[in-house]
Chains A and B, each alone.
Chain A
């Protein structure tokens, strides 16, 4: 088909523009009922500059955003069932740093390019490698430090196995202490 219809096509692979380089990937093993507790502990322990937290459904985005607010953390949320204009405004405010955390479903088709985001949490682990890459991957130009933490339930084991294989990457068990050098930018005061 390509040879017949395209004259001297210029081939690019958009997937290659997303990279996992610079992102340290961990998993925590949890039960569904432990996820909110686990997230609360992550919030209190990690040095989050800005975070994005992914859920697998719009319903769960709303439920989780409500929980996070109850826990006393500022959070925005966006999902596919919201009007585009509203989504744009929320994302714009998030990018400008008005709020530290953003809960969302899979809306980003080109990876996230918000420099200030140093922690991405998969509250729900995705089924597809492509989805994982879009959530965690950074576009090459912006490849910079960050950590990704995946909350894994026993039901996610097949997806975890498949995604590691397909992306040729390793998601390690979360260590007791995460080295800040992996995801916290040195403040200007230190230098």
Chain B
């Protein structure tokens, strides 16, 4: 079920919808603070060195 939802999200919409503009890499990268996320992951698993 979850896979189906993923595939639908990824491939479901018509291909040429809004592609006249380039994908905004920088704007999207700003939504993911890798360092902070990694610190949180590391903090959640103190048993793994």
Contacts and interface: CB of A to CB of B under 8 A. Distances in A.
Interface of A: 28-38, 40-42, 44-45, 57, 59-60, 63-64, 66-67, 70-71, 152, 154, 157-158, 160-161, 173-174, 176
B43 to A, nearest CB: 12
29 contacts: A28-B28, A28-B29, A29-B31, A31-B9, A32-B6, A33-B9, A33-B12, A34-B23, A35-B10, A36-B10, A37-B18, A37-B23, A40-B23, A41-B22, A41-B23, A44-B22, A60-B11, A66-B11, A67-B15, A70-B16, A71-B15, A71-B16, A152-B32, A154-B32, A157-B38, A161-B38, A161-B42, A176-B25, A176-B26
B32 A38 contact: no
Interface of B: 3, 6-7, 9-13, 15-16, 18-19, 22-23, 25-26, 28-29, 31-32, 34, 37-38, 41-42
A31 to B, nearest CB: 8
A63 B25 CA distance: 23
A34 B13 CA distance: 10
B11 A63 contact: yes
Contacts of A37: 18-19, 23
Nearest to A35: B10
Given A37-B18, A67-B11, A70-B15, A29 B23 contact: no
Nearest to B31: A29
A45 B32 contact: no
Q: Give the residue among A42, A45, A161 with the most B Cβ atoms within 10 A.
A: A161
A173 B25 CA distance: 9
Given A33-B12, A36-B15, 18 more contacts: A28-B23, A28-B25, A29-B29, A29-B32, A32-B9, A32-B10, A34-B23, A37-B18, A41-B23, A45-B22, A60-B11, A66-B11, A70-B15, A71-B15, A71-B16, A157-B38, A160-B34, A161-B38
